[in-house]
Amino acid sequence: MKGLSRTHYCGDVRSEQVGEEVTLMGWVQRRRDHGGVIFVDLRDRFGLVQVVFSPEVSEPMFEVANDLRKEYVIALKAEVRARPDGMVNEDLKTGEIEVYATELHILDEANTPPIFIEDEINSGEEMRLKYRYLDLRRKPMQDNLILRHKVKKAVRDYLDSNDFLEIETPILTKSTPEGARDYLVPSRVNGGKFFALPQSPQLFKQLLMVSGMERYYQITRCFRDEDLRADRQPEFTQIDLEVSFMNMDEILSLVEGMIQEIFVSVGYDKPEDFPHITYKEAMDRFGSDRPDMRFEMELIDISEVVKDSQFKVFSGTVAKGGQVKGINAKGCADFSRKNIDDLTDYVGIYGAKGLAWIKVEEDGIKSQIAKFLSEEELDNIVSTMGGEAGDLLLFVADSPKVVAASLGNLRLKLAKGLELIDEGKFEFVWVTDFPLFEWDEDEKRYVSLHHPFTMPKDEDMDLLEGDADKVLSQAYDLVLNGIEIGGGSIRINDSELQEKIFNLLNMKEDEIEEKFGFLLEAFKYGAPPHGGIAFGLDRLVMLLGGLESIRDVIAFPKTQRATCLLTEAPSFVDQKQLEELSLEVDIEIEEE
RNA sequence: GGGGAUGUGGUGGAGUUGGUUACCACGCCGGCCUGUCACGCCGGAGGUCGCGAGUUCGAGUCUCGUCAUCCUCGCCA
């Protein structure tokens, strides 16, 4: 660094330093050449400061300043001066001063960057990902990573003060059945065998409870080889924790404290309300197990009202065990045919075969289904739906699953379109009382809704014999603004009950022994009651930052095809590497 | 695996019913300028229109295929 030693960050120079000599380092944001004087905005992580180069100070230095271009890395000595009258820049934290360069060194030249280093996004995401290191020079991206850091620090401070220990668990671990597809890692030493990257540290954290660690946490990477979304990456970060000797309510209030600490530490109001809703109620009222509580527009069941109607689409669906539900789009009676057709297409994505509508207008009802319904039935429907003049009532008749998915998502779409959502608001809700099992039609067996280590509710234990699909679990999800940010459960700590659950999942004795024998064995040596939860750090930071995608809070995220545009991973490997790993690749490798 | 959107100089976009030399902004290069801060002014360079076929006298534009990025259904214990 040409023997210089940095004395200040660019963004930190203030009027107090007027008259002092400072040594600054950073990147050239912009150069303004006025012939006789050159201004350079110098940028580092902490801000911008205006540097003035004058030939009167040093002719050779001025010549060097002439060669400066965007993103050159420079070091300089300069005198801090107050700006002349009327020259103060209100938009800059350092706007009251400028620094007069006395010595200038170019530490590294720079090619013209392919994307602009500006606060506003001026490039497509493909460019931003390919040149991620440049995208990360932009202040909004730096702010996102700073926010992420603050959240992690708040988590560590809070959990540390509550006697939690941060303990690492293996990244190379064992493939498990159930759940998401594993990322596999071949073992060279044990040819033909594979490690799996963890989908979560679930089994290890339970073993740590058997070890008597009592309170464990870890901010750790998890891997799932499934298709990506705006809020799903193949590797993502969990705030994972587990405690012994706490019941569900105690765990929930413990983590509510953590959430409060996080919010306060990043400058938001402390959230106070963490209401509870059961899974069933969430599905009934919102058509989702992660309801967005920032607005109303709940789903209303009209099955009883229409079950005997002449309109076969409604009555027939009810007769077959389906349901008819609707939502009331307040004030939307002026929607055009085209609008409604679009909404019909939209619910089609979720399997709905149609979307019935009723417009409630001053002079009566307008509806494509009015002719199939009696006046009394129509009146009944409108009053059940709370319909008033100006409202648009929208209905789906189908299986409960399709009704929930289509109306639940329609509710969200309408709310966004009608701007019913206060974007500055944070609304939490705990979803509890999840079913323990779900019937898998493809595999013709029960699968765990949460995971196989989840404790059934005490009062449902006897239902395990014969009525397994009715058993509720001691599982809980924390939902924020319609996004699941955390989920956990009280775990089974009894090897006999655990074996019974495995059996209900139709797992064979030898499979249980091979996959989970070590866990069942561990539970025979005194396992404390325990439970825990894992938060999706990326999603949480995304929400706190008011962002649309977790890619914006991950330094080097993957594309939707699960590739890295920067490193071009994944890639083919040498034949020699494959041979060492006892692997053969069964696809044509295209010539470069 | 399915549905949808997008792809045009370095970047972001426009490009009509298929028809002269593909346009604009920013950026870049050169010149001028001692108070700018998205500096200004003058001049200049820079394009296989993602890729491959097809239709046509003629394709950025139409058709088919393919690749990439994004949104999404399935999937995600």
Answer whether the bond into residue A570 is a cis peptide, omega within 30°. Answer: yes
pLDDT tens digits, A117-145:
999 999 999 999 999 999 999 999 999 99
The DSSP code for A307 is T
Strand B contact with A70 (CB < 7 A): yes
Distance A32 CA to B44 C1' (A): 20
Strand B contact with A413 (CB < 7 A): no
Strand B contact with A131 (CB < 7 A): no
Strand B contact with A188 (CB < 7 A): no
Virtual torsion, Cα A280, A283, A288, A292, nearest 10 deg: -90
Give the pLDDT confidence score for residue A588 in this predicted structure: 62
Determine the nucleotide nearest to A56 by Cα–C1' distance: B34
Distance A206 CA to B5 C1' (A): 45
Can you tell me whether residue A84 is helix, strand or coil?
coil
Measure the CA–CA gap between A439 and A448, rounded to whole angstroms.
9
Measure the CA–CA gap between A272 and A274, rounded to whole angstroms.
7
Q: Which of residues 372-411 of A touch strand B (CB under 7 A)?
A: 405, 409
Strand B contact with A555 (CB < 7 A): no
Q: Which of residues 213-272 of A touch strand B (CB under 7 A)?
A: 224, 226-230, 232
Q: Read out DSSP for A121-144?
A: --S-HHHHHHTHHHHTTSHHHHHH
Q: Which of residues 17-46 of A touch strand B (CB under 7 A)?
A: 30, 32-37, 39, 41
Determine the nucleotide nearest to A86 by Cα–C1' distance: B35
Distance A559 CA to B14 C1' (A): 29
Measure the CA–CA gap between A351 and A401, rounded to whole angstroms.
9
pLDDT tens digits, A52-85:
999 999 999 999 999 999 999 999 999 999 999 9
pTM of the model: 0.95
Determine the nucleotide nearest to A230 by Cα–C1' distance: B71
Give the pLDDT confidence score for residue A561 in this predicted structure: 96
Q: Which of residues 278-337 of A touch strand B (CB under 7 A)?
A: none
Render each residue's pLDDT in chain A as its tens digit; 592 residues: 888 999 999 999 999 999 999 999 999 999 999 999 999 999 999 999 999 999 999 999 999 999 999 999 999 999 999 999 999 999 999 999 999 999 999 999 999 999 999 999 999 999 999 999 999 999 999 999 999 999 999 999 999 999 999 999 999 999 887 789 999 999 999 999 999 999 999 999 999 999 999 999 999 999 999 999 999 999 999 999 999 999 999 999 999 999 999 999 999 999 999 999 999 999 999 999 999 999 999 999 999 999 999 999 999 999 999 999 999 999 999 999 989 999 999 999 999 999 999 999 999 999 999 999 999 999 999 999 999 999 999 999 999 999 999 999 999 999 999 999 999 999 999 999 999 999 888 888 899 999 999 999 999 999 999 899 999 999 999 999 999 999 999 999 999 999 999 999 998 899 899 889 999 999 999 999 999 999 999 999 999 999 999 999 999 999 999 999 999 999 999 999 999 999 998 876 543 3
Give the pLDDT confidence score for residue A40 in this predicted structure: 98
Residue nearest to nucleotide B28 (CA to C1'): A112
Strand B contact with A69 (CB < 7 A): yes
Residue pair A53/A37 in contact (Cβ under 8 Å)? The answer is: yes
Distance A378 CA to B1 C1' (A): 42
Distance A13 CA to B47 C1' (A): 45
Residue corresponding to tokens 């911008």: A48
Q: List the nucleotides on chain B closer than 7 A to a protein CB.
A: 1-2, 10-13, 26-29, 32-40, 68-77
Q: Which of residues 87-106 of A touch strand B (CB under 7 A)?
A: 87-89, 91-92, 95, 98
ipTM of the complex: 0.94
Q: Read out DSSP for A473-501?
A: BSEEEEEETTEEEEEEEEBP--HHHHHHH
pLDDT tens digits, A456-478:
999 999 999 989 999 999 999 99
Measure the CA–CA gap between A314 and A384, rounded to whole angstroms.
15
Neighbour count for residue A380 (Cβ, 10 Å) = 17
Strand B contact with A447 (CB < 7 A): yes
Give the pLDDT confidence score for residue A39 in this predicted structure: 98
The whole-chain average pLDDT of chain A stands at 95
Strand B contact with A547 (CB < 7 A): no
Give the pLDDT confidence score for residue A590 in this predicted structure: 45
